[in-house]
A and B are shown apart, each in its own frame.
Chain A
Amino acid sequence: AQTVTQSQPEMSVQEAETVTLSCTYDTSENNYYLFWYKQPPSRQMILVIRQEAYKQQNATENRFSVNFQKAAKSFSLKISDSQLGDTAMYFCAFMKPHSGAGSYQLTFGKGTKLSVIP
């Protein structure tokens, strides 16, 4: 079974600064997908960024980028130029490839509560 670990329960960052959220995972799979989801106070889950394990290039989406280290099984999220609207819970998630039992299921970490301070 896969496990996802987020070791930072809470973090804070000054507006306009940069913050990095850590995530590690454990799997015996070689092909898989990794995601970062944001859950603001409204509790709507919002996809922030995704990474295919077979791609060496780190994914980027505007102010959000990841540092994917496959050998170390690490998938950290960097938020640049933090904005007040980035305040939310952030969940790292792992998805198995599309075959076999549990395919397409998401396994979530426990989350990191990020507060952006004005």
Chain B
Amino acid sequence: GAVVSQHPSRVICKSGTSVKIECRSLDFQATTMFWYRQFPKQSLMLMATSNEGSKATYEQGVEKDKFLINHASLTLSTLTVTSAHPEDSSFYICSARDAGAGTSGGAPEQFFGPGTRLTVL
């Protein structure tokens, strides 16, 4: 199956610093990537949809200036948490949609990265 990687898997930073998380599709091209946030024992909440070569679409309540998303190529999207604070501590997960999938009429699958645990001190 298709593989999505995330880097780093775990990061600890001081309050006020910025943190960049990378999401890569390793063996397929992804025109669309999605960024989720998951608090402990809760579900995944979609933060934004990242489209290659265009601006990301943010969900209601997500600060676009705080969570900067860049999707510069068909295999890489980045999420930068700017001026991180302890309340930003969470598990961040990306997923990618295979640009060539779903064309045969089957359900278009999203492939998930392993997640990044962010801890802001």
Instruction: Count residues of A near B (Cβ-Cβ below 8 Å).
Output: 22
Question: Contact: B114 with A44, CB < 8 Å?
Answer: yes
Shortest distance from the beta carbon of B77 to any chain A beta carbon, whole Å:
14
Q: Smallest CB-CB separation from B59: which chain A residue? A: A105
Residues of A within 8 A of B86 (CB): none
Instruction: State the CA gap A47–B106 with chains docked (Å).
Output: 14
A68 within 8 A of B: no
* Residue among A35, A44, A104, A107 having the largest count of chain B Cβ atoms under 10 Å: A104
Instruction: State the CA gap A52–B32 with chains docked (Å).
Output: 21
Instruction: State the CA gap A47–B1 with chains docked (Å).
Output: 11
Task: Kindly identify, within residues 42 to 77 of chain B, every residue whose CB is under 8 Å from any CB belonging to chain A.
Answer: 42-46, 49
- Cβ 8 A contact of A104, one of B91, B93, B110, B114: B110
23 contacts between A and B (CB under 8 A): A33-B107, A43-B93, A43-B114, A43-B115, A44-B114, A45-B93, A46-B112, A50-B107, A51-B107, A52-B106, A52-B107, A95-B107, A98-B102, A104-B97, A104-B110, A105-B34, A105-B49, A107-B46, A108-B43, A108-B44, A110-B43, A111-B42, A111-B43
Ordered nearest first, which 6 A-B pairs have the shortest CB separation? A45-B112, A33-B107, A50-B107, A108-B43, A110-B43, A108-B44
